[in-house]
Amino acid sequence: MTPDQPSVADPDGTTPSGPRTADGGPGRTVPELAGAGAPGTRTDPRFAVHRAPVPFARAPFAGVTWREFGFLWLALVLAPFGFTYTVFTVSFTGGILATVVGLVVSSALVLGGRGWGAMYRSMARTMLSVDVTAPAPYVRPRGFWRTLWSGLADGTGWRALAFLLVTFPLAIAAAVVSTVLLAVGLGGMTHWVWSRWLPAQQAGDGTWHRGASSASTGTSTPRCDSSASCSSARCSCGCGRT
């Protein structure tokens, strides 16, 4: 720490020894990049994780597991709206950009992508205990035309729109796969409870069971002899022909 750098101290007056983010918060240590020097760890300034690892056996009963499922389901609900917003913004911007009204609306739509990004960061912080570093705030320049062009060329807004575009298929895949695995796992664990209410079925050997059965039903297509009539509905061979 150099004299021109502010010190970051804990409430008890001691200097923290763990990794810190750019704003002084706790950071997440990641392995050093290959070839970057001596092996060790460094602080990733892009996000900070505030949850402890959950053992595998306790994961089904941990609250963080169900909050993560809730994040996937909520992202699945929001993904179509975000995708529609992105497609509308791009198509509207390309179609009406030549007019002054088009510049105003397009600039507002691009800047609106920042709001979507803030919402997803809030979801990650609340449901996943992950703090994603917020981008630099938008500073409106002086002048009407500069304001329009700065909003339309806002890189953070366009990155947020690209995020919404990519999130749409990923949210569907993640929610469907996780929900199917959850349903199969819970169904297998609780089969002994709900299987008694399944309808009774008779197998091919005459035994009764509940649920589906892979046993053969014992039925077969009857064979026809030479004297059988071809008009028989149960006859599948070309009998009776000379």
Q: How many residues does the chain have?
A: 242
Torsion region of 143: left, alpha or beta (phi above 0 gives left; psi -120 to 50 gives alpha) = left
> pLDDT tens, position by position, for the chain (242 residues)?
444 444 444 445 444 444 444 444 455 444 433 333 334 444 566 777 777 788 888 888 888 889 999 999 999 999 999 999 999 988 887 777 677 777 888 889 999 999 999 999 999 999 998 888 889 888 888 888 888 888 888 999 999 999 999 999 999 999 999 999 999 988 888 888 888 888 888 888 878 877 665 444 444 444 444 444 444 444 444 444 44
- Our CA angle for 232, 238, 242, nearest 5°, is 110
| Residue partners of 126: CB distance under 8 A and separation at least 6 | none
pTM over 0.85: no
How far apart, in whole angstroms, are the C-alpha atoms of residue 114 and residue 119? 9
Residue 129: which H helix or E strand, with range?
none
How far apart, in whole angstroms, are the C-alpha atoms of residue 147 and residue 149? 6
> How confident is the model at residue 213, as a pLDDT?
53
> How confident is the model at residue 3, as a pLDDT?
42
**Tokens representing residue 83 in the block:** 């995708």
**Tokens representing residue 186 in the block:** 């819970």
Helix axes 155-189, 100-127, angle to 10 degrees: 40
> How confident is the model at residue 112, as a pLDDT?
93
**Tokens representing residue 224 in the block:** 């026809």
CA neighbor of 171 nearest in space, from 241, 23, 71, 32: 71
Q: Where are the beta strands (DSSP E) in the chain?
A: 28-31, 41-44, 47-49, 130-132, 200-202, 208-210
